[in-house]
Every structure is written in C-alpha cells, then in structure tokens.
C-alpha cells in the first residue's frame, strides 16, 4: 500500500480532497490541460470520482458535473465537500441496471483508487454496489449537452462506454479514458470508439500527439515500473512520465489551448 493510501483514512476528508486537488495535476498533467478539451457550459461526467480532483476542476468549466463513485465512504466525502454544481451518485457506471460486485484490495476501503468491477490479483475484498448505465442516469437527471466524460474504472471501461452510447451519438462529448495494458487489452475500447467516429490523443510531454503515432502499448511495457509508484512519489517526480490515459475526440477535431469564446468560430476543427 502506498503512503497516500495509508494516510488518507486517518485525515479529515476535506484535507484529503484538498491534497488530491493540489497534487493530482502533477500526477496526471492532462488535468492541468483541461481547457484543451473540456468546453465551457453544459454537463461534464466524472466516472470514478475517487477524492474528486477531476470533479472539482470540471466544476470550474461545466454548468453541471455528475460524479459517479461506487465506494460508499468516498461518495459520501465527495458529496459533503463538492462544489454546488456537482451531483454525486453512489453507484458503478456500467451497461446494465441492477447490482454488481465491486472488488477492492484485501482489507481496503477504496482509498488506493484501484477498485474495479473486474477482479485482479490486487483485489481481495468484495462489496455489492448499485450499477447504472450513464445513458439512464443522465436521462433520469434530465441532463444533456454533455461535453466531457472522464472514465477511470480500472478495467470496466468497455461496459461504461456501452452504457453511454446514446449520449455519444447525441452529444459527441470528449472522452478522457484511463487505459492500461497491464489491466486489459486496448483493442476492444479502441474498436468501439473507432466505430463511433472517435480518434485518440495522448500527452506524453508538452504537446498532444495522435494516438495513431504513439506506441502506447510499448510505452506502458517500458515504463510499467512507474505505475507501481504512488501518488506522492509520481507527483514529486513528474519527469518519470507514465502515459495511461487517452483523450478521444470526434474525428476531425483536436485538442486546443484555452482561447477566448469569441475566437471559437474561427477554429472549427479544434475541440
């Protein structure tokens, strides 16, 4: 267990949330570049909220944020400290309605951020949780105009996307998805999104590059040891980059630096 995971249960939730918000943009630099792909207004969705670093940043740009977090105590902490425009739903996003088994590390509570509906060797504790498709959840909340869906679910990404296909067809949101070959093959997710007309982008350094020109599988095999480092260690050594998330945009669009709204019509191919 990492140092951050050991400390988190012993600290006030507001401290942990503030610490995650402070450190996470160094741990995951794409969060610092949120304006490149998250439009202002509308709805943003954070699937796998954890302590809320993405939800809090999304709340600065979107009118409404829906955060889906299945671990009970994390969902409660998020709901207690989230900005007013964030709705926290204690559930697992998937492609069906009902109940599912959430797997956590042995004796863990979900603080490490590796909880999943797909059991791996790191898991040993089972927890029954409610599951719901994003399409049904957003319809129930009467929310549309979805501009961004972020997905960090450690293995059940395909089910999340299948449960959001109406939203993908209707709103064509940007998708920021954690994908790791040590957890599952990349092919099924890439194939599904290719069928929906999406192209991938990654941020290995300071510039976004097309996924088609970046060997993500080879990079992750070469840098896999970095993935074992905790939040604190990776945040303090950001040069040890391990790319494990992909930004997907509708074909013909690309990430862009933040610009004034009055300039948007001059860049029809930017997202």
Predicted local distance difference test score (pLDDT) of residue 88: 98
Give Cα separations from 180 to 2, 155, 187, 270 (angstroms). 19, 8, 11, 27
Domains of the chain, start order? 3-256 (3.40.50.150)
Q: What is the pLDDT of residues 203-259, one digit of tens each?
A: 999 999 999 999 999 999 998 776 665 555 555 555 578 899 999 999 999 998 644
Q: What is the dihedral of CA 18, 174, 192, 52, to 10 degrees?
A: 10
Ranking 20-34, 38-52, 88-102, 164-178 by mean pLDDT, the lowest is 20-34
Higher-pLDDT residue of 98 and 264 is 98
Q: Is the separation of the CB atoms in 63 and 45 below 8 Å?
A: no
Q: What is the pLDDT of residues 132-176, one digit of tens each?
A: 999 999 999 999 999 999 999 999 999 999 999 999 999 999 999
- Report residue 28's pLDDT band, with 50, 70 and 90 as the boundaries: confident
Predicted local distance difference test score (pLDDT) of residue 11: 55
Token pair of 100, please?
């599912």
Average pLDDT over residues 126-136: 96
């Amino acid at each position: 267990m990492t140092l951050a995971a050991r400390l988190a249960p012993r600290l006030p939730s507001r401290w942990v949330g503030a610490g995650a918000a402070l450190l996470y943009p160094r741990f995951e630099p794409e969060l610092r570049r949120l304006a490149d792909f998250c439009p202002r207004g509308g709805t943003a969705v954070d699937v796998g909220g954890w302590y809320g670093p993405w939800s809090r940043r999304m709340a600065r740009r979107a009118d409404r944020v829906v955060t889906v977090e299945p671990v009970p105590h994390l969902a409660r902490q998020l709901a207690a400290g989230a900005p007013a425009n964030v709705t926290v739903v204690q559930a697992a996003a998937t492609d069906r309605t009902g109940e599912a088994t959430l797997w956590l590390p042995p004796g863990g509570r979900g603080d490490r951020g590796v909880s999943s509906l797909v059991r791996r060797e790191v898991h040993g504790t089972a927890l029954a949780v409610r599951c719901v498709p994003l399409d049904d959840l957003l319809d129930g909340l009467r929310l549309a105009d979805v501009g961004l869906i972020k997905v960090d679910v450690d293995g059940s990404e395909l089910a999340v996307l299948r449960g959001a296909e109406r939203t993908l067809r209707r709103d064509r949101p940007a998708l920021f998805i954690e994908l790791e070959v040590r957890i599952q093959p990349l092919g099924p997710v890439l194939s599904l999104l290719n069928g929906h007309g999406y192209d991938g982008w990654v941020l290995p350094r300071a510039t976004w590059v097309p996924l088609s020109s970046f060997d993500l599988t080879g990079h992750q095999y070469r840098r896999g040891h970095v993935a074992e480092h905790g939040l604190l260690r990776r945040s303090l050594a950001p040069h040890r980059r391990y790319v494990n998330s992909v930004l997907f945009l509708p074909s013909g669009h690309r990430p862009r630096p933040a610009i004034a709204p009055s300039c948007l019509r001059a860049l029809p191919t930017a997202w």
